[in-house]
Amino acid sequence: MYKIAVIPGDGTGPEVTQEALKVLQSASKKYGFEYETTNIDWGGDRYLSTNEVLPENASDSLRKFDAVLLGAIGHPDVRPGILERGILLKLRFELDQYINLRPCKLYPGVWTPLKDKGPEDIDFVVVRENTEGAYVGMGGVFKKGTPDEVAIQEDVNTRKGVERCLRYAFDYTRKRNKRNTLLLCAKTNVLTYAHDLWERVFNEVGDKDYPDIKREYAHIDATCMWMVKNPEWFDVIVTPNMFGDIITDLGAMVQGGMGIAAGGNINPEGVSMFEPIGGSAPKYTGQNIINPMAAICSVQMMLEHLGEDKAADAVDKAVAWATSEKLESMSAGKMGYSTSEVGDLIAERIAS
Ligand code: IPM
Ligand code: MN
């Protein structure tokens, strides 16, 4: 019996989460696994009424679950940054979810802005380091608001943090078994301390424990270029936190938009959290027009993580069926179906 914590969150988060849960239920009936969900109200509305971003012991309370399903965080009435840092980043850090796994896969029938590229060209995975880099919030400000202001924000890279991320990426590349090629995306020509560490550990660990995995390297700027021009060159990309943040938004566009991009915040030894990577899209709230596919794809990732491979595969196939046979677009209001109808389509396809 899996224990799943559900944080629907803000804006359209609750609507897409409802469809994701519909799909989870259908998969559980068909593939015979059991689960129970616990609903958690963290998000902008709770913050506005209680003045508290997260309750005390929030992350501890999540440790007893097998996985967390997150809708979206971000509220139009809350100053940007408060909820993102106070909820999303805090949970990632405190639960030590040191991997942010973000597949970039173009499903059949989905429009991509890349001319002449199809599903066979766009199918790679980004392994983003998720607990270090510029995100740790180390640094400070001096003479703030004056012409002499000094602002320093450190980019923190630890041997341990870098190595565990790289090892995860190597293992993932091996398990994926597509082209058995792992590309390190960094900026070694400029970040001569931090990314030198990444490069050395990449080669050291690769030589020692992953001789079967081919290693490649590209700078972040070149990676952006190839992601647009030759996305078929990529199998698995491993990259530091901030670079991963940036290239996965580019990846989301390449795979058809925020409506379909999902990710997992993973602690391989602890509790992991799955989420659509787009925001809360508040302007579409309550209209039943937002695309729930990204949330549904995050359920697919959660099932794979839990070891329910058959169920995960069934969700993946149902999504591919819906994108190729049913949905007219991935954009809110243009799908040809409502949010709940898309959930029904996928759930019924799995059941059939
Ligand atoms: C993401 C988001 C977050 C990040 C923000 C909301 C802090 O952009 O999940 O990619 O930068 O990691
Ligand atoms: Mn981002």
**Span 255-295, pLDDT tens digits:** 999 999 999 999 999 999 999 998 899 999 999 999 999 99
pTM exceeds 0.85, yes or no: yes
Residues 58-85 have a mean pLDDT of: 96
pLDDT band at 115 (very low <50, low <70, confident <90, very high): very high
- Structural class in CATH, domain 1-110+258-352: alpha beta
pLDDT score of 156 more than 90: yes
Ranges in the chain annotated CATH 3.40.718.10: 1-110+258-352, 113-254
What is the distance in A from the centroid of ligand 2 to the CA of 88? 11
By the 10 Å C-beta count (0-12 exposed, 13-18 middle, 19+ buried), 260 is classed as: buried
Per residue in 182-208, pLDDT (tens digit) is 999 999 999 999 999 999 999 999 999
What is the distance in A from the centroid of ligand 1 to the CA of 246? 9
Distance between CA 24 and CA 30 in Å, rounded? Answer: 10
Closest CA to 118 of 110, 126, 127: 110
Out of 75, 89, 128, give the residue to mutate to test ligand 1, the one with the largest number of ligand atoms within 8 Å of its CB: 89
Atom of ligand 1 nearest to the CA of 249: 10
* Nearest CA residue ID for atom 4, ligand 1: 245
Please give all residues whose CB falls under 5 A of ion ligand 2, grouped by chain where several chains appear.
245
| Mean pLDDT across the chain | 97
Does ligand 1 lie within 6 Å of residue 88's CB atom? yes
pLDDT for the residue 278: 86
Closest CA to 103 of 220, 247, 224, 233: 247
pLDDT band at 142 (very low <50, low <70, confident <90, very high): very high
Residue 238's contacts (CB-CB under 8 Å, 6 or more residues apart) are 126, 127, 129, 165, 166, 169, 182, 183, 184, 185, 202
Out of 70, 88, 239, 243, give the residue to mutate to test ligand 1, the one with the largest number of ligand atoms within 8 Å of its CB: 88
Does ligand 1 lie within 6 Å of residue 275's CB atom? no
> Residues of the chain with pLDDT > 70: what percent?
100
What is the distance in A from the centroid of ligand 2 to the CA of 146? 31
The yes or no reply on domain 113-254 and CATH 3.40.50.1980 is no
What is the distance in A from the centroid of ligand 1 to the CA of 105? 20
What is the distance in A from the centroid of ligand 2 to the CA of 250? 10
